[in-house]
Structure 1
Amino acid sequence: MTTMPTVPTVTQAQRRQYVDEGWFVLERALSDDQLALLRGVADYAVTSADAQMDAEGVDALGLTTRGKRYFSSMIYRDRPELRAFLFSDLMAEVCRATLGEEAYLFWEQYVIKAGDPDTTFAWHQDSGYVHENHAPYLTCWIALDDITLDNGPVYLLPYSRSGIRSYIRHVRDDRVNDQVCYFGSDPGMPVLVPAGSVVAFSSVVIHRSGPNLTDRLRRVYLAQYSGEVITTADGSEPWGSFEPFLHEGRVVADR
């Protein structure tokens, strides 16, 4: 008989930390099946990005650089099996604890770094890649491999260290297309977690990631949710996905 995996509970202390500092971690939150699913589609994400660059005759596209770092977004539209995770009870638990009773899927993407010293990602807010006219949304940074100091961890500046709780203007680094919002000396707090962990943080938390200095891929899956339908800056159409996930606290998405 198949048993359903136990869904971790976001504690009151973690809820408070999200409000006060903008982040918390659920270690080893994914089931074995969920981790296997996300790892299985990771190869497809890289292959798709390479194919897109091949078609355009380039080795860099957006934030992606061939053989170094890959940002492959909205893969779930091609691989609908990801819906089972994106709209899972685990993600519902995290969304309720951070966004409340209403939630929409906003964006999803793989962030995969090959072993290369030129795979850093600059200080930014996730909101810096959207625009300033939206409420902060939720980023779930999901480790598909054990995260160490050597393979490119995420570094956070919690609210108490940055003093920032809202959108700030970013400057584009034309060399790698990164948006940058912090030029100070604080190195940030590395988040070192085992595979299957969820690092949940607000879209206005300033963060960066280091280079992957190992000979193995560092694979991360990003699932992002909002409490409202985020639109383009002029308000004319939705930005990204706008699939309803939670309504009055209940899962309403097709899984």
Structure 2
Amino acid sequence: MVLVTDEMREQYRDEGYFVLERVLTDEQLELLRGGARYSIDKLDAAFDEAGVDRIGINARGKRYFSTMIYKDRPELREFLFGDTMAEICRATLGADAYLFWEQYVIKAADPDTSFAWHQDSGYVHEDHEPYLTCWIALDEVTEENGAVYLLPYSRSGIRSYVKHIPDPVRNDRVAYFGSDPGIPMTAPAGSIVVFSSVVLHRSGPNLTDRLRRVYLAQYSGEIIMTKDGSEPSGSFERFLVDGRVAPELAGGS
């Protein structure tokens, strides 16, 4: 069965995003939720060790951004380099793809958990081709618990990297100060919001009494180097080569 339709491909090209509802299996959800629990525990331990309640954009009991958890939990590779993500990458990036970045974004029940308008590219630098973000809902996402809001290309007028201004209090990077609220991406658990790294987006606070857990898997069609060109700026394990899963991932077949 085709996961990404021609209409979705066209929408990604014209507006920068599409949504796949309820595409994860129960087993995949259980796998990713286990990683979410681990990611919270890991950051809480880091807070304890440093004797602080904030590290970068992380805030104890409020919001957690845990990166490269798959390196601690290798079982996550089954999902990151599996058939679902392969089809999404082919439909958006083309025949070649690398795993660029991976992280959990978890919001606890707290009104101070919103995230400012930004592009994912704004957390890299201006000299790269747009990459792919797969925003994977591990819980039902509503406007009350912190949905992501997108500004499609036709509403923002922006299709490339723009300068971001740091927020001195929250450590967010901000790229849009207009009045358009964006389109809320409300979705059931197991859904994937697929969007380009140059699409402007934000997320609201979690005003409920339960966690809102999201898994981010990001892929690129090229190796993005750091701004000084000294090293890759992310993971960059090969995933697709000429449309096929890289031999090292497929057991050499």
Match of 1:146 in 2: 140
Asked if the contact 1:127/1:203 (under 8 Å) is kept, the reply is yes
Q: Per-residue CA shift, 1:175-196, capped at 9, x if unaligned?
A: 1110000000001110111000
Separation in structure 2 between the aligned mates of residue 64 and residue 243 of structure 1, nearest angstrom = 26
Q: Which runs of 5+ in 1 are unaligned?
A: 1-6
Normalised by the length of structure 2, the TM-score is 0.97
User: Which residue of 1 is the match for residue 249 of structure 2?
Assistant: 254
Matched length: 249
Matched, 1:123 2:123: no
Root-mean-square deviation (CA, aligned residues, Å) is 0.9
Aligned to 2:25: 31
Question: What amino acid maps onto 1:234 in structure 2?
Answer: D
| 1:188-203 mapped onto 2 (5 Å cutoff) | 188-203=182-197
- 1:144-223 matches, cutoff 5 A: 144-223=138-217
Alignment-derived partner of residue 53 in structure 1: 47
Aligned equivalent of 1:3: none
Residue 5 (structure 2) pairs with residue 11 (structure 1): yes
Runs of 4+ off more than 2 Å: none
Are 2:40 and 1:42 aligned? no
* Offset at residue 8 of structure 1 (A): 5.1
Unaligned runs of 5+ in 2: none
1:93-126 Cα offsets, whole Å, 9 max, x none, are 0000000000000000000000110000000000
Tell me what 1:83 maps to. Answer: 77
Identical residues among aligned pairs (%): 71
Contact in 2 for aligned 1:8/1:90 (Cα 8 Å): no
Q: Distance in 1 between matches of 2:102 and 2:53?
A: 23
Letter in 2 for 1:56: A
Q: How far apart are the structure 2 equivalents of 1:249 and 1:101?
A: 4
User: In the TM superposition, what is the alpha-carbon distance from 1:254 to its structure 2 partner?
Assistant: 2.5
> How far apart are 1:56 and its partner, in Å?
1.6
TM-score norm. by structure 1 comes to 0.96
